[in-house]
């Protein structure tokens, strides 16, 4: 293993900040960045070799690849984390604007909703991963939540109770059980997990995350956060009677006064279901 790859991997394992998902993504991004620097001709680097020319080279490469603003910003955050850990924070400009990286557009009124069919699920070899995907689809769970959930504890009759230790930000929440499909999926999840979670007893969370990623990639499934977008959009239409703007429904300026009130209440409900604290956040899922 090259010195830079090894040292960045060691940094990630010594400085465990954020959720397991955040840590895993950071390590993958830094490994990719180390590989790309090597491919660009920067050989023999160590973690303390980081210089402005390396950042410019990476940004040029990413622009050639036509990566989204969000992806570039996430990678810049990983580089800043790296620079901070090796006391090289002044190597990276504090503002993305310095590099000509535009602001990310969170609200586009373009749907990112996805669904998984039974045929696609059958391509998933690992039964625990398959079950997690089904839970993501019918309850709008995050990937981490759909792995850590213990159905025997979560199932509370007419609602799903998510413990703080399973959720992003450590915020427990309740998701209503409204449909026959939800109950059927939850019952099967309970039978599979028994008294445990949807992480098999012979794996930890990080290992199961890698199994999840490998299984979904081989099955041709990508951006599974889109299952959460689909849940939000379906829930909104159920509550209001019309589709959200991201799904082709009316925009805010086209609603009557009564409809705006119903829209606001629906957004609050969807926000609670998803585990967000503000209705404004769900505009990324529903449009505006």
Task: Write down the pLDDT at residue 22.
Answer: 86
Task: Write down the pLDDT at residue 104.
Answer: 62
Which pLDDT band, with edges at 50, 70 and 90, does 107 fall under? low
Rounded Cα distance, 137 and 283, in Å: 19
Taking 90 as the threshold, does the pLDDT of residue 171 lie above it? no
Percent of the chain topping pLDDT 90? 77
pTM: 0.70
Helices then strands, each counted (H, E), the chain? 13, 2
Which pLDDT band, with edges at 50, 70 and 90, does 108 fall under? low
In the predicted model, what is the mean pLDDT of the chain? 92
Taking 80 as the threshold, does the pLDDT of residue 280 lie above it? no
Residue boundaries of the structural domains of the chain: 3-99, 124-219, 227-286
Taking 90 as the threshold, does the pLDDT of residue 128 lie above it? yes
- What secondary structure letter does DSSP report for 127? H
CA distances (Å), 272 to each of 22, 133, 267, 277, in order?
22, 21, 9, 7
Rounded Cα distance, 177 and 235, in Å: 12
């Amino acid at each position: 293993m090259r010195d830079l790859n090894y040292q960045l991997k060691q940094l990630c394992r010594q400085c465990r900040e954020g959720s397991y998902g955040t840590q895993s993504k950071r390590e993958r991004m830094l490994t990719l960045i180390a590989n790309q620097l090597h491919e660009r001709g920067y050989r023999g680097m160590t973690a303390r070799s980081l210089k402005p020319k390396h950042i410019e080279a990476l940004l040029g490469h990413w622009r050639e690849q036509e990566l989204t603003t969000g992806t570039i910003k996430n990678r810049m955050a990983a580089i800043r984390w790296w620079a901070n850990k090796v006391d090289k924070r002044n190597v990276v400009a504090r503002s993305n604007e310095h590099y000509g990286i535009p602001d990310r557009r969170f609200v586009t009124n373009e749907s990112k909703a996805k669904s998984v069919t039974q045929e696609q699920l059958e391509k998933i070899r690992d039964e625990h991963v398959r079950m997690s995907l089904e839970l993501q689809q019918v309850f709008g769970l995050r990937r981490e939540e759909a792995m850590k959930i213990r159905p025997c504890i979560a199932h509370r009759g007419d609602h799903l109770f998510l413990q703080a230790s399973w959720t992003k930000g450590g915020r427990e929440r309740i998701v209503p059980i409204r449909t026959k499909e939800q109950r059927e999926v939850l019952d099967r999840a309970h039978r599979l997990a028994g008294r445990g979670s949807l992480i098999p007893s012979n794996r930890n969370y990080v290992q199961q995350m890698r199994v999840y990623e490998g299984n979904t990639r081989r099955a041709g499934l990508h951006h599974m956060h889109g299952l959460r977008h689909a849940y939000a959009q379906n829930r909104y239409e159920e509550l209001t009677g019309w589709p959200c703007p991201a799904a082709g429904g009316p925009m805010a300026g086209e609603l009557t006064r009564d409809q705006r009130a119903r829209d606001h209440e629906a957004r609050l409900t969807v926000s609670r279901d998803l585990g967000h604290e503000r209705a404004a956040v769900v505009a990324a899922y529903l449009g505006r």
